Structures are given as C-alpha cells and as structure tokens.
A and B are shown apart, each in its own frame.
Chain A
Amino acid sequence: MSQVIVVTSGKGGVGKTTSAAAIGAGLALKGKKTCVIDFDVGLRNLDLVMGVERRVVFDFINVINDGIRLHQALIKDKRIEGLYILPTSQTRDKDALTREGVERVIEELKQDFDYVICDSPAGIEKGAFMALYFADEAIVVTNPEVSSVRDADRILGILNSKSRRAERGEPPMKQHLLLTRYDLERVARGEMLKLEDVVEILAIPVLGVIPEDDAVLQCSNNGMPVVLEPKSIAAQAYMDAVRRLLGETVELRFTTPPKKSFVNWLLRRSA
C-alpha cells in the first residue's frame, strides 16, 4: 500500500528539503520505491540538493497544466535504485498548483510507488496547503528554537483541520516530529531548546533527532542526499529515522553529549 508523506514546517529554512531528500533516499536504500515531489514552486531546491538539476526537462507544473505525461517529468536517480524526483518549475507561481491537478498526479504516483514524499514550501499558503492536503502522514520538521516550534504547532493545527483526511472525517494523519540541526553544545548552554522541551510543547511522537552537522551542507553543495555519506552523524540519524518510519524500534542517538572517555582524554593531552 502506497503512503503519501508531507515534509512540512511552517517556518522556512529549518531543513525540510534536506530531510525530504535524505528520507526519500533512505527509503529507497531500504528497498522502497520512492518519489520525492518538490512543491516549492518558483524556488526549486530539491533537484539541486539531489543533484539532478541538469537533467530537468519537464516538471510537476507541466504535468498538471501542459499535458506532459508523468513519466516524461520523473527523474530517476542514478545512484540509488528505486529513487525518483519530480522537480518543480522555477518560472511559474503557486497558482499553477490546482487541487485537481495535484490529486491526479499523486493518485498516479500511488499506483507505482511505495512512498510519495512531498517537500513542502515554508509558510501556510497555497503551496504548503497543496503539499499537505493529500498526505497520509506528516513529518513536521523543527529546529530547537522557539519560533520554529511555534510554527510547527501551527502547522499541526492545519494538518488536523485542513487536510483531505480531516475534511472527510477520516482517521487523522499520522504525525511525526523531526528535530533537526540539534546542536548539543548550544542546547547544553541553554541557547537552544532541549528535545524534551520541544516534545512537551508539540506532544507528537519523535521520528528522529538530526544533529547539526557540516556534512549536510557539503552534501547538498555536491548534489547528494546526506545519507550517501554514511559515516556522517547526520546520515546515521536520518537512517535511524527511516527505520522508525518503517516501523522498527530504534533508540535515539546523538541526543546526549558523548562521554569523555579516558582514551579521548589521553589523546587530547598528547595532541
């Protein structure tokens, strides 16, 4: 059975696109046929982060409005089997996303894919609304910081009231919290919210905690999902999240400072 998952946040720049790419790639690495759709019409970041921007011919908007067939617009990832990207247009605006058009594309993708991941734009306007409307599950991305947590709360309200499931009175959308850019040192210094505080405020289950990691920026600059750098802690944290999404029970990692071992101490002393 196919699952449609929206990656959303309210606030901009918290790591939605990074997470949609990493989780989409992670699901494909786990053998699930996955398509990631870019709903950020006019900005178009996903294809860049996933390293396919030079292969875009047709896009999501062409499929909705211009009679282009879905398979003409879908881009197959060359590194990961079963991973596809549906890029969006940089020249059109959000009004090009019609509800009927989006529905038609999502229904068609559901025939063929195990997972459809919708990378939402920031805000609570049309693009964000279209990205969440048809979803079965939501990954709410937030940073450990007050304004981003408030916007996440706001988005949770919209998921509960404005989605198709809510309108039809169907069982509520499954909601997951993904806390990204978690910087242990800044949390310890009290400059950022603790995981516990965020969970207390948002009151939804935690899908994952992704540490602040330079590998994220390096990978996106190189056009590859961070999970393709498996040694990085961000990749490990994202893969843990993917396993939880698939129903496994996986302990949270990278949420407490590493123990300063005797060996580390010796190493630092001799350095």
Chain B
Amino acid sequence: MQPPPQSRPASDHKAQPFQLRGSVHTILCLRLLAPTDPEFLPLLRDKVAHSPDFFRDAPLVLDLAPVADTPPIDLAAFVAELRRMRLFPIGVQNATPPWQEAARSAGLALFGAGGSGSFPDRAASARARPAPPAGRRGAGLVITEPVRGGQQVCCPEGDLVVLAPVGHGAELVAAGHIHVYGPLRGRAFAGVDGDARAMIFCDQLEAELVAIAGVYLVAEDIDPRLRGRRVRVWSEGERLVMVPVP
C-alpha cells in the first residue's frame, strides 16, 4: 500500500505562530488591451477620477491575455504610474514566459497558469487553467463492495465511483472526481495529479479527510452541520468549498 499523495494543509496547525489559510477575494482586474497606446494612462486616470473612493488603494491584477503575442513593456514603470493613481497592482494573470519575467522583476505575483491561486475572476481563472493533457482522463473505476479500514482504492487515470460504504481508515485516491454512493467515513483524495477542478461527492459525509489537488480539510475543520449530509466538495483557490446537495 502506498502512502497518501503529497498534500498541503488548507489550514495550518494552531501551534504555529501564524495561520496559513486559503481565502477568496474579489480583486479588480485590469485587462491590458493596448498598454502602449499613448492614451492609455490619461484615459485610465480619468476613469479613476470619476470614482476615487471605489478605486482608492484598490488591489489590482493585470490581465495580460490580450498582449500575449506582443513583447513585454517596462512593467516596473507602468506599475509606478498606476501607483501614482492610487491603484495597487499586486500581480498578473495569463502571462506568457517573457511577460512573467517582466512581472517578476517588477515585483508582481503570478496568478493563474503561471502561479498558484487564480481566483480574481472565476470565469477568467477557469479559462486560465491548463487543459488536461490529451488522454489524461482515462479509465474510471467502479467499486461495488465496501471499502474497509486499511484498504486503499486507487484510480490513477480517471473518476472513482464507489457504490458502497467507505470505512474509517479507508482511502480513496483518484486523478479525477470521487463519487461515493454511501457513507464516506475514510479519506478521499481527488485530483491527485493536480487537477483542481476535480470534485468529491458523497451521500453521507463522515470523512476523516477530504483533499482536492493536494489541498485538504481534516474532520475537525469540517463544518459539523455538514456531517451525515449529502455533500459536494470542490476547490476554489487554496480553499475547499463544501455544500449540501439535495
């Protein structure tokens, strides 16, 4: 039996002097359609002047998708101009390697494909996620017998479906989604190859641990109101979201 896949906590241990938690923020996104246009900065300044309260010190992500095919501009100087308008650029998304380089030297974080959590705008981040390599979603696996404590069921290519109870101390591991039509009392690791779009579904949530693409929640951190409920789990940024389903 193999050890469970490498994981990192969704919330760190309380004994540490800090706490690392995933969170979701709505962040303004500035799409750079034509950043070299001489009217770019004056027009933006106008726009900001119209609602200064709304824009004051607003964190900003620069979306570089429209300029992917053009050579990078001097991002450090550009950022300095935006700061002067009291905008606060914190990172870029959809950056090609040359733009990533420019962003790094300007002290900007890489969101989306080039970095970690890409959650400024759900639709954009979904687009930004890399498509799974062809054939990655391979054969699924359907298990009809109970999965007992100490057993591990692994579906390295696709979705794992279990039509029976999953006991305490049992482990489900899948590259894709995990469905349990029965109580899930053990541990479930979905999207183990890093597919953050993988989800976990179960009829009766009693899990010891659920993880998607390495982000996990242990029983203690699961909302007690969800215990025993039929639940869907997915990942948003570095956070797992769990909702009851009818």
Contacts and interface: CB of A to CB of B under 8 A. Distances in A.
Is the interface on chain A under 10, 10 to 19, 20 to 34, or 35 or more residues?
10 to 19
Interface in B115-155: 145-151
Interface string B61-78: 000000000000000000
A161 interface: yes
A75 B169 CA distance: 41
Nearest to B185: A201
A6 to B, nearest CB: 16
Contacts, number: 39
Contact of B149 (A153, A161, A203): A153
Contacts of A160: 145, 148, 151
The 6 closest A-B pairs by CB, nearest first: A157-B148, A154-B149, A153-B167, A157-B151, A153-B149, A154-B150
B145 A201 contact: no
A153 B168 contact: yes
Interface in A132-161: 150-151, 153-154, 156-158, 160-161
Contacts of B151: 157, 160-161
B185 to A, nearest CB: 8
A158 B165 contact: no
Contacts of B168: 150, 153
The binding surface of chain A is classed by DSSP as: helix
A151 B167 CA distance: 10
B164 A150 contact: no
B207 interface: no
A153 B149 CA distance: 6
B149 A150 contact: yes
Interface of A: 124, 150-151, 153-154, 156-158, 160-161, 172, 200-201, 203
Interface of B: 145-151, 164-165, 167-170, 183, 185
Contacts of A157: 147-151, 167, 170
Nearest to B167: A153
Q: Which of B149, B164, B169: most chain A CB closer than 10 A? A: B149
A263 to B, nearest CB: 42
A161 B148 CA distance: 10
11 contacts: A124-B150, A150-B149, A150-B169, A153-B168, A154-B148, A154-B149, A156-B146, A156-B148, A157-B170, A160-B148, A203-B146
Contacts of A161: 151
A150 to B, nearest CB: 5
Nearest to B165: A203
Contacts of B169: 150, 153-154
A157 B164 CA distance: 13
A145 B185 CA distance: 16
Contacts of B147: 157
Contacts of B164: 203
Contacts of B165: 201, 203
Given A158-B150, A203-B146, 15 more contacts: A150-B149, A150-B167, A150-B168, A151-B149, A153-B167, A153-B168, A154-B149, A154-B150, A154-B169, A156-B146, A156-B148, A157-B148, A157-B170, A201-B165, A203-B165
Contacts of A150: 149, 167-169
